[in-house]
A and B are shown apart, each in its own frame.
Chain A
């Protein structure tokens, strides 16, 4: 009996000792829970912010990063990952966190531009010289074309891909929802592999050499070209695409509990400063401040989630929930 009790005590002590390790940092620490494509952006941004904050207040701030699929990251926060701020791919995932009471309702109005300090869009990554002559969304549904995109059910980026194609088809002459559905159905018939995340798809396209075109975040496409071979790929910016707004917000419950609200808010606001905007532009995001120069090609027409789909809640329900239009493609 006593052996058992001693063991139990040892186990409990061990567990509680270990559990205090993450909370040991002496200076201010923030945890930013983000999605996959922002890794490189936040490496630079965090360094810049730490410097700025040190100058301003004299405090040392270290920012810890966690990256992963947007849905998985949101779930981790819901289940207790103590993020001070989240910087995710879509408002839908942050809404899910808000629904559990961790963020105050109306969070998207707290910061300018729907709380999205930078935007992006969906572009085409093609093989060097664009051998298949891909210029616009029509080209993707041609017979024999092989299109790589992740699974919209598991990847936030893929949902933007899907909605961009949908919006494009619906705005063609004579376009309507039925035509749009037929269009994306034809598009997805050309998809040979559905990876679970954006980076997985990029690897399938680049490393495995599969597919004629990869649908990707603009910043992901530029990063892939830079990292994996400027001589192997070209980026095609279609004349019409969708305005992707990756939002950021403070997790109120966590920030208040940890007493980090001030620095967390400062952190997100810094994204909107010229310095923050320049870093975003450097990593191929589109800065919302028009004065910051960007090398990214103009997209003639950008559809938006709010105007064209009635917001994320509606879009998610109609297209990506069980039995939605995406599921119907594979029936």
Chain B
């Protein structure tokens, strides 16, 4: 509807800002990324398909995307809970916890990986407790998931948090006046409001986890067909000086990322419409 009510925009600066945006985008992101595609184009379609559908590569997609999916789902549940608790409730240490959420951004991924491996290996703080129960985390696909949960959590919390902050309390009061019980209010009124941002957080955390390398290799065990992630295979190809093989797999991952992000942006559009 807005499309038709559009009037002439009196604000200046559209040309320079858009120009600079596109220029900088091309310089930093698009031209370098296109190098990836050009490098891959050195091999034929058939070779390309052979590389990216090799048994071991397929197994690595399964491990990487599977673990990322589960990690993102866990992050969605606990990230939503965390955001809710942080915004709505008052308890000692709340500020500290709020700050802690950004930790995975600041800690170098290698440190995160080494630390997680230390904690979850069989002589570590958590490993010692879990291993007698028959749960092995370090050097199994479970370890990959733990690392992915770690790096993805802030995305969910920080996407959902502002939306919770903005929820109008009148909505809840109205629902309560209409004799809805608290659970019904949460489920029918609040949750639909949060869903778009929650999905966005889920998708961002998923996309980040799929590409992660630094923290995962320390805890994954890296066994072919079992706990080998796709970025590791890219590195493996590079070690053999097989640049085109590496860029072929990288291109597949890039396409996956791009599709992921398109979905994210559609979700956000939907979320904005929903909010109006």
Contact = CB atoms under 8 A, between A and B. Distances in A.
A207 B245 CA distance: 35
How many chain A residues sit at the interface, stated as a range, is: 20 to 34
Contact of B224 (A78, A200, A330): A330
Given A4-B19, A193-B221, A327-B56, A208 B138 contact: yes
A192 interface: yes
B239 interface: yes
A207 B19 CA distance: 53
Interface string B101-143: 0000000000000000110011110000000000000110000
A71 B121 contact: no
A320 B239 CA distance: 11
Contacts of A72: 238-239
A134 B236 CA distance: 31
B56 A208 contact: no
B23 interface: yes
B82 to A, nearest CB: 30
Contacts of A330: 56, 223-225
A253 to B, nearest CB: 18
B20 A321 contact: no
Contact of B123 (A192, A200, A209): A209
B54 A210 contact: no
A7 B16 CA distance: 12
A69 interface: yes
A322 B241 contact: no
B222 interface: yes
A194 interface: yes
Interface string B151-190: 0000000000000000000000000000000000000000
Nearest to B123: A209
B20 A4 contact: yes
A96 B218 CA distance: 28
A277 B259 CA distance: 57
A3 B13 CA distance: 11
Contacts of B139: 192-193, 210
Interface in B203-257: 217-218, 221-225, 232, 235-236, 238-242, 245
A209 B139 CA distance: 13
A154 B223 CA distance: 13
B241 A96 contact: yes
A153 interface: yes
B16 A3 contact: yes
B124 to A, nearest CB: 8
A71 B240 CA distance: 7
A151 interface: yes
Contacts of A154: 235-236, 239
Interface in A141-166: 151, 153-154
A99 B256 CA distance: 34
7 contacts: A4-B20, A69-B239, A75-B239, A154-B235, A210-B121, A321-B240, A330-B224
Interface of B: 16, 19-20, 23, 54-56, 117-118, 121-124, 138-139, 217-218, 221-225, 232, 235-236, 238-242, 245
A-B CB proximity, top 7 nearest: A71-B239, A330-B224, A208-B121, A194-B222, A193-B221, A153-B236, A193-B139
Interface of A: 1, 3-4, 7, 69, 71-72, 74-75, 78, 96, 151, 153-154, 192-196, 200, 207-210, 316, 320-322, 327, 330-331
